[in-house]
Chain A
Amino acid sequence: MSKQLLTGNEAVARGAYEAGVSFASAYPGTPSTEILENVGTYREITAEWAPNEKVAMEAAIGASMGGVRSMAAMKHVGLNVAADPMFTFAYMGVSGGMVFVSADDPGMHSSQNEQDNRNYARFMKLPMLEPSDSQEAKDMFRDAFEISERYDTPVMFRMTTRICHSKSLVELGERKVFDAIPYVKNRMKNDPVPAISRQLRVNMLERDRRLSAFSNDCAYNFAEYNGSKKIGIVANGISYQYAKEVFGDSASYLKLGMTNPLPIDLIREFRSNVETLYVIEELDPFMEEQIKAAGIDCIGKEKIPLVDELNPNIIKQALLGETVEEIHCNPNLIVGRPPTLCAGCPHRGFFYACSKRKDTVMVGDIGCYALGGSEPLNAKDMAICMGAAFSLAHGMDKAFQLSGQGKTIVACMGDSTFFHTGINALEEVVYNDSHVICCILDNRITGMTGHQENPGTGYSLNGEPATIMDIETIVRALGVTRVRTVNPLKLDEMDAALDWAYAQVREGPVVLVTRWPCVLKKLSTEDKREFRTAPALCTVDHTKCIGCKKCLSTGCPALSLDKYERKVTIDRMQCVGCTICAQVCPKQAVRKGARKA
């Protein structure tokens, strides 16, 4: 078979297929999302979107206990959510091989932090593999299942954005099929009550020792000696490619694909063969500190930056002192191009209505609606992590009550985020009775990561019908009595709902569900029945437009102002006729009815 150009994520999916994986679960998150989307294209594998990463990890653990090869995938911060089951499963070991992907995001291309999840592998005492291109991603992911079964351990597979989203050539292999291992009850392995865990903990340390020996022997850890051996470089993952780009054949390399446990004997041997040893790794001095602790002299983070992703230029500058010549241009010729909520986005109506409210604290969450904080809407004070908006609001309300600060707290998160962990946060609000307005922006899909199904949409990862969980029903079942569902694109309804919520919140928690599909969503049969979208678009009557710019304050990218004529025009290519601009126009200058281009 000829080689194919695959992303690291596509390659991992292929590796899962070739390894005979039967069950895979994930919650979407950049840069990991496409792993499960691609796993789902192999009919032999049951691939599922879980409500969150912890559930995905637990489902994969259960599948392993049930005797088949299984996997879970998540972005780096997702592993924080999924850490609880994995710390203990690390004691217990597997039946069918089990591997999970942590996709880290050095440089924070699409994340709120750049934590280095390699630290988890050491903390959990798990073997960790790190590919440096797509071929390795496929091969190492496939082989990780053998390591998992041979050493009776889950395996952590650590990728980064540049591995996940870069394409390189991959030679494909065939699928190996495994018979499921028949389930046999074994409490001494699978029931970690303290008496059992104490023994498992001892066993785990013994396993760690055997894994160290394996790491020194592993085919993915190897030395490449070149030329004078003056410079030796230890590198992992994408840093190895950057190092090769900069030093080529002028240095020798110790290329590490298995980075936990570190192959200390191999590193010591390599050190004895080179004059100077550099350790090149992104983010934390994960390898460097262990190498130094083993008494091996090396140069690392005193030269290589601790923050942001690396690239060949950064390494060249840090280790060779060479700067790269750049072309400089007139900076006045550049205007920012920030991401914006799309034309027709249902979140716009919600944020526009909220932006008018005084004495309000707006608590946000993780998703497209993070953009509600940007100008001109400017309707967000804070956010922290998935599902946190309601619990943050809860604590803040308690603080305000204790200190007599009379502000109204409006917290918002999307439908998928509500199902993720927001539902737990709402339990907190109800159980411990805080007076906050909790808004669930239900756009009928997981938006930011590119439209994945979730428990509210009525479809599974493979597009099969699934039970639709109705958000308002769930909220009422949790004990909230003050609940309203509203169409956020009807500003009068949105305003009336907020007026009502601001009055009711004095009595107790209020939930508003804004319900309208994402403008980019391919509507399902149920959506088409519920939401009547008119295909017409809006136009501005220039005889009526007074150039007051009120419509521009909605931040819709389809609107533009002609500064000289002082008239607004609507881009026919972008407008979907949501009419938010028409609703805010004081002169009724915006008309709906033109045929869509």
Chain B
Amino acid sequence: MKKMDTKSVMLVGVGGQGTILASKVLTSGLIAAGYDVKMSEIHGMSQRGGSVSTQVRYGSRVYSPIIGNGQADVLVAFETMEAIRYLPALRPGGKIVVNDYQIATLPILSGEKDYPDGITEELERKASTLVIDAARVAAKNGNPRGMNIVLLGALIESLHIQNVDWATAVRDCVKPAFVESNLHCLDAGMRAAEALA
């Protein structure tokens, strides 16, 4: 493989949204294609409904498993507000893939605060942003729970990763019964990103 700079991806969302499975498919495909890969996640208290983040880095030789602010090439947010919470992680000039899907937090549920308006507009002002209604795309492709794989598809397209056998990566990571519908979701996510690019 030609020597290439390390690329950094940050996947953020809320516990239970499937960011872990998406990063598993991503890393599995990248490894099979011969990249050096590192991945980092935080466990513990964040699992109890808090915000979660996973970092994936790949290239010919990766050192640090984590990045500081201003270093992510692509930020993928599985929940809309999480995109703006983690925006400082994005490299100026980097891309955002954001799910048009809102999960209220406790202060919002209790009526103490409102879910903020205008998040996607603010994101679009700050960086090249792709907004996807992943729930709708997933449902249209016969897998209402495949939102994470739709977003993964969009991420792969935004990164311009080539020569990776994603179908095998999906097969390696999901139960046989869900392979077909997840492949549809992956494809739909890639096409959505292509159409908006």
Binding site for B on A (CB under 8 A): 3, 5, 30-31, 109-110, 133, 161-162, 165-169, 238, 241-242, 244-245, 311-314, 316, 324-330, 332-342, 368, 371, 376, 448-450, 549, 552, 555, 557, 559-561, 563
Contact = CB atoms under 8 A, between A and B. Distances in A.
A368 B48 contact: yes
B64 A549 contact: no
Nearest to B96: A327
A167 B38 contact: yes
Contact of B66 (A311, A555, A557): A311
A30 B27 CA distance: 24
Contacts of B87: 327, 329
B38 A557 contact: no
B51 interface: yes
A337 B119 CA distance: 16
Nearest to B92: A325
Given A31-B44, A314-B68, A549-B111, 13 more contacts: A109-B42, A110-B44, A110-B45, A166-B65, A324-B69, A327-B87, A332-B116, A333-B116, A333-B118, A334-B84, A339-B49, A368-B48, A561-B111
B46 interface: yes
B115 interface: yes
Given A241-B63, A334-B116, A549 B110 contact: yes
Interface of B: 14, 27-28, 31, 36-51, 62-71, 81-82, 84-85, 87-88, 90, 92, 104-111, 113-116, 118-119, 122-123, 126-127
B65 A241 contact: yes
A519 to B, nearest CB: 11
Contact of A5 (B27, B82, B88, B122): B27
Nearest to A331: B84
A340 B106 contact: yes
A371 B50 CA distance: 12
A339 B113 CA distance: 17
Contacts of A325: 70, 92
A360 to B, nearest CB: 24
Contacts of A549: 110-111
Contact of B43 (A30, A245, A327, A340): A30
B35 to A, nearest CB: 10
Contact of A241 (B37, B42, B64): B64
B105 to A, nearest CB: 4
A327 B27 contact: no
B36 A327 contact: no
Contacts of A316: 68
B147 to A, nearest CB: 13
A377 to B, nearest CB: 11
B65 A448 contact: no
12 contacts: A31-B44, A109-B45, A110-B42, A166-B39, A245-B63, A311-B66, A311-B67, A314-B68, A337-B106, A449-B44, A552-B110, A559-B109
A249 B13 CA distance: 36
A544 to B, nearest CB: 18
Contacts of B36: 169
Closest 6 CB pairs of A and B: A313-B68, A110-B44, A166-B65, A561-B111, A339-B48, A339-B50
B40 A162 contact: yes
B109 A557 contact: yes
A349 to B, nearest CB: 17
Nearest to A557: B49
B43 A31 contact: yes
B69 A242 contact: no
Given A245-B63, A328-B88, A560 B109 contact: yes
A342 B38 contact: no
Contacts of A3: 31
A327 B71 contact: no
Nearest to B44: A110
Of B14, B27, B108, which is in contact with the most chain A CB atoms at under 10 Å from its CB? B108
B38 A166 contact: yes
A526 to B, nearest CB: 26
Contacts of B111: 549, 552, 560-561, 563
Contact of B81 (A30, A313, A330, A334): A334
Contact of A336 (B40, B48, B90, B105): B105
B116 A336 contact: no
Contacts of A245: 63-64
Contacts of A450: 43, 47
Given A3-B31, A165-B43, A167-B38, A329 B84 contact: yes
Given A166-B66, A242-B64, A339-B50, A333 B119 contact: yes
A552 to B, nearest CB: 5
Contacts of A327: 70, 87-88, 90, 92, 126-127
Contact of A561 (B68, B70, B109, B122): B109
Contact of B67 (A133, A168, A312): A312
A169 B37 contact: yes
B46 A339 contact: yes
Given A244-B63, A340-B106, A368-B48, A312 B68 contact: yes
B38 A168 contact: yes
Contacts of B31: 3, 5, 169
A215 B81 CA distance: 50
B122 to A, nearest CB: 6
Contacts of A165: 40-43
Contacts of A324: 68-71
Nearest to A328: B88
A560 B104 CA distance: 9
Of B38, B51, B114, B115, which is in contact with the most chain A CB atoms at under 10 Å from its CB? B38
Contacts of B48: 339-342, 368, 371
Contacts of B50: 337-339
B105 A376 contact: no
B193 to A, nearest CB: 21
Contacts of B14: 337
